[in-house]
C-alpha cells in the first residue's frame, strides 16, 4: 500500500489598492515607461521583485475604481469565518490563516492540487461575505495572488509557523477554527498574548 504524501497550499492575496504596480516594496507587475510602452511583468517563480517605480505606481493609483481597502478587526473576523466555513463545506482543512489589515495568508490542506482554483473559491466566498456584511457590493481584493505548493511536512510546518508569526493579525484560523485576534501591543502583559476575540 502506497502512503499518500502530505500536501498543502500556502495562498496569499492583498486587499484592493494596497499593493499597486510600481509599489516601492517591489512588485511583479508591468512597468510603464514614461516615454510610452511598458516592460512586461516578470511573475515567474525565482524571479526577484522589480524595484518600485513612481510613474507606474501613480498611474495605477489613478486607475483605482474604489478607495483602498484596509480591513477593520470586525471585517477581518468576517473574512476568517467565511474562509473557515467555505473550507469546511468542501472537506478542506485550513491549518492556519492570518488576516491582516492589508493582506492575508492561508495554509490549507485536503484541497485540490490547484492553487488558482482554491484561491478563487476562498477569495470569492470571503468577498461575498464582506459585501453582505457591509450591505452593498464592493471590491475587496486585488486580482490574483500567490500560490505556494508545500509537498512535505517540513515545508508545511514552515508555512504554518510563518503564518502564525505574522505581525498585525486582526483575525486567525487555527486548525479550521476562526477567531478574532488581540495583537500583543493591545494587551497589558505578555502572558495574555494568545487571547482571542469572539
- Residue 56: pLDDT above 70? no
C-alpha distances in angstroms, 190 versus 92, 154, 185? 33, 29, 9
Rounded CA gap, 79 and 93, in Å? 16
| pLDDT over 90, % of the chain | 57
Over residues 3-55, the pLDDT tens digits come to: 578 999 999 999 987 765 665 665 556 555 667 665 666 665 666 666 666 65
**pLDDT of residue 184 exceeding 90:** no
Could you tell me the three cell numbers for 127? 468577498
Mean local confidence (pLDDT), 81-95 = 98
pLDDT at 101: 94
According to the model, what pLDDT value does residue 16 have?
84
What average pLDDT score do residues 167-176 get?
95
Question: Quick check: 140 and 18 in contact, CB under 8 A?
Answer: no
Q: Predicted confidence band at 65 (pLDDT cuts at 50, 70, 90)?
A: confident
Contact 41, 30 (CB under 8 A): yes
Coil, strand, or helix at residue 165? coil
- Which domains, from first to last, does the chain contain? 8-12+69-197 (3.30.70.1290), 21-63 (no CATH)
- Check: CB of residue 105 under 8 Å from CB of residue 11: yes
Distance CA 8, CA 95 (A): 9
Helices (H), the chain: 54-63, 73-90, 115-134, 153-164
Position 57 pLDDT exceeds 80: no
Whole-structure pTM value:
0.77
For the cut 50, the answer to whether the pLDDT of residue 189 exceeds it is: no
The three three-digit cell numbers of residue 175, written as one number: 486548525
User: Can you give the pLDDT at residue 144?
Assistant: 86
3-class SS of residue 169: strand
Does pLDDT of 196 surpass 50? Answer: no
Give the integer Cα–Cα distance in Å for 117 and 43.
18
Amino acid at each position: 500500500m502506497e502512503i499518500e504524501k502530505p500536501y498543502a497550499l500556502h495562498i496569499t492575496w492583498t486587499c484592493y489598492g494596497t499593493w499597486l504596480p510600481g509599489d516601492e516594496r517591489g512588485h511583479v507587475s508591468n512597468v510603464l515607461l514614461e516615454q510610452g510602452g511598458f516592460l512586461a511583468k516578470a511573475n515567474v517563480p525565482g524571479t526577484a521583485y522589480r524595484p518600485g517605480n513612481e510613474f507606474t505606481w501613480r498611474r495605477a493609483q489613478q486607475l483605482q475604481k474604489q478607495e483602498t481597502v484596509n480591513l477593520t478587526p470586525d471585517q477581518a473576523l468576517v473574512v476568517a469565518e467565511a474562509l473557515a466555513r467555505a473550507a469546511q463545506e468542501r472537506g478542506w482543512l485550513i491549518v492556519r490563516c492570518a488576516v491582516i489589515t492589508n493582506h492575508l495568508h492561508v495554509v490549507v490542506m485536503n484541497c485540490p492540487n490547484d492553487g488558482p482554483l482554491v484561491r478563487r473559491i476562498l477569495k470569492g466566498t470571503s468577498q461575498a461575505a464582506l459585501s453582505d456584511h457591509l450591505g452593498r457590493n464592493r471590491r475587496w481584493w486585488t486580482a490574483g495572488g500567490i500560490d505556494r505548493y508545500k509537498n512535505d511536512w517540513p515545508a508545511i510546518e514552515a508555512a504554518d509557523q510563518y503564518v502564525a508569526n505574522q505581525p498585525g493579525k486582526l483575525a486567525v484560523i487555527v486548525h479550521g477554527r476562526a477567531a478574532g485576534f488581540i495583537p500583543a501591543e493591545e494587551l497589558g502583559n505578555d502572558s495574555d498574548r494568545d487571547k482571542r476575540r469572539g
